[in-house]
Amino acid sequence: MGLEPHSPLTELSLEAIIALLHSRGLRVTKGRQKILETLLEATEPLSLEEIQRRSVVDGVTPDYATVFRVMGLLEELQVAQRVHLNRSCSYFELLDPQQHYDHLICTQCGRVTLMVDSCPVEKVEQAIGRRYGFTDVRHSLEFFGKCPECR
């Protein structure tokens, strides 16, 4: 399992992300910190609405525009990525610099399983980089099927 060279972080933690944001001169408000905590606690990619619903601080729900901006920023910093899961809206997940995963999605119930330690194209990725002269090649795969409960 090769390290993902793309994330500017060396480990995925709240402290590491906050330090990165500070190093870019960005303020980390209580609301922003809660959004980061929501992402770190998530076991599957979340939509903007889900991030919003789970990031309530003292009874206050962050507004959609705030969540949208934070996710855009994290994406730009390559700390988070967008996945589509064959649905109409985007889902977001943090990029773990120490671990890469692809997705297995149930077409019946929508459950998302993260495929850890079984990337089928890691070698192919290196070959693609060489073939086309690209560095920092990355991918996010989505496989679809019926989960054990829906079979």
Residue 3 phi/psi, 5° resolution?
A: -75, 145
Number of residues that bind Zn ion (CB under 5 A): 8
Q: Rg of the Cα trace of the chain?
A: 16
Would you say 28 or 119 has its CB closer to Zn ion?
119
Q: Verify binding: residue 137, Zn ion, rule CB under 5 A.
A: no
Sole binder of Zn ion in the list 10, 108, 118, 126 (CB under 5 A): 108
Would you say 29 or 126 has its CB closer to Zn ion?
126
Q: Verify binding: residue 109, Zn ion, rule CB under 5 A.
A: yes
Contact in structure between 30 and 9 (CB atoms under 8 Å): no
Q: Verify binding: residue 106, Zn ion, rule CB under 5 A.
A: yes
Q: Verify binding: residue 119, Zn ion, rule CB under 5 A.
A: yes
Q: Verify binding: residue 104, Zn ion, rule CB under 5 A.
A: no
Helix axes 30-41, 64-76, angle to 10 degrees: 70
Residue 36, judged by CB atoms within 10 A of its CB (0-12, 13-18, 19+), counts as buried
The amino acid present at 37, given as its one-letter code, is E
Range in contact with Zn ion (rule: CB under 5 A) among 16-24, 52-60, 72-80, 115-123: 115-123
Would you say 16 or 119 has its CB closer to Zn ion?
119
